[in-house]
Amino acid sequence: MTRPLRSDAAAEEVARTAAAAPDWAALAAVARPCVACPELAATRQHVVVGDPPAGGRPRFALVGEAPGASEDSTGRPFVGKSGQLLDQLLAEAGLQRAEAAVLNIVKCRPPGNRTPKASEVARCSGWLRRQLELLDPPVVVALGLSSAKWFLGPRTVLAQARGRAHDVDGRAVWATYHPSAAIRFGPRGAPRAGLLADLTTVAGTLA
C-alpha cells in the first residue's frame, strides 16, 4: 500500500494508536477524539470514522476523500448529496451499500470542503490502514483522485487508472470518479456515466 508522502510525530502516534486497536469498536473509540490535525480538529463537529457493514466481512469497501458538511454534522460518511447519488448508482449497478464498508482517507471535514493537505492525509492514514486490516475487504473502490492516489501512488492519473483492478496488498483496487464530480458535471456528464460503468464492472467481479 502507498505510504504517506510525509510523516511526523502526530502521524506516527496515530499509526501506533490505530495498530493497537483490537477491533472496530476500539478503533472507533480512539479515533473520535483525534487531534492530530489541529486545524481540522478546531473546525469539525465530528470525526467521521466510517461505516462497517452490518455483519461480517464486507464484500467491498468504498473509500472517498473526506467528509462534507452533512457528514460532519451527522458523523456518518456519504449521507449528503454525493452519498444519495452514490446510493442510487450502487443500486443501478446491482450493489448494496449494506454489504460495504464506507470510509474516507481523511476522517475530519477540511474547512470549506477544500482538498486535504498531504500532511493531513499522512496523519490520518493510520486509521484507514487499520480499518482495512480489521475489515479485510477483498475489493476496494477508490472514489476520486485523492483516494486513488492513496492506494496507487502520488503520480496516479484517474483516466489511466480506471477500468481495471490494481492489486494492492492482495486486494483488488478499482479507481473511479467521486460522486461529487458526477454531480458537478450533471446527469449526462462523463463522470456520472463512468462511475456507474465502473460500479457495474465491480459488481460483475463480485457475482
Q: Does the residue 53 lie in any domain? A: no
Q: Which domain holds residue 107?
A: 9-47+59-206
184 close to 190: Cβ distance less than 8 angstroms? no
What is the domain count for the chain?
1
156: domain CATH number is: 3.40.470.10
**pTM of the prediction?**
0.94
By the 10 Å C-beta count (0-12 exposed, 13-18 middle, 19+ buried), 5 is classed as middle
Asked whether residue 181 is domain-assigned, the answer is yes
In a domain, 3, yes or no: no
Could you list the pLDDT tens digit for every one of the 207 residues in the chain? Answer: 444 444 589 999 999 999 999 999 999 999 999 999 999 999 999 999 999 998 889 999 999 999 999 999 999 999 999 999 999 999 999 999 999 999 999 999 999 999 999 999 999 999 999 999 999 999 999 999 999 999 999 999 999 999 999 999 999 999 999 999 999 999 999 999 999 999 999 999 996
Asked if the structure places residue 19 within a domain, the reply is: yes
Let me know if residue 126 belongs to a domain: yes
Position 64 in a domain: yes
The answer to whether position 202 is within a domain reads yes
Instruction: Evaluate whether residue 15 is within a structural domain.
Output: yes
Question: CA torsion sign, 146 to 152 to 156 to 161?
Answer: negative
Q: How many CB atoms lie within 10 A of CB 43?
A: 14
E strands within the chain? 60-64, 100-104, 139-143, 166-168, 171-176
**Contact status, residue 91 vs residue 199, Cβ threshold 8 Å:** no
CA 130/CA 88 separation, integer angstroms = 29
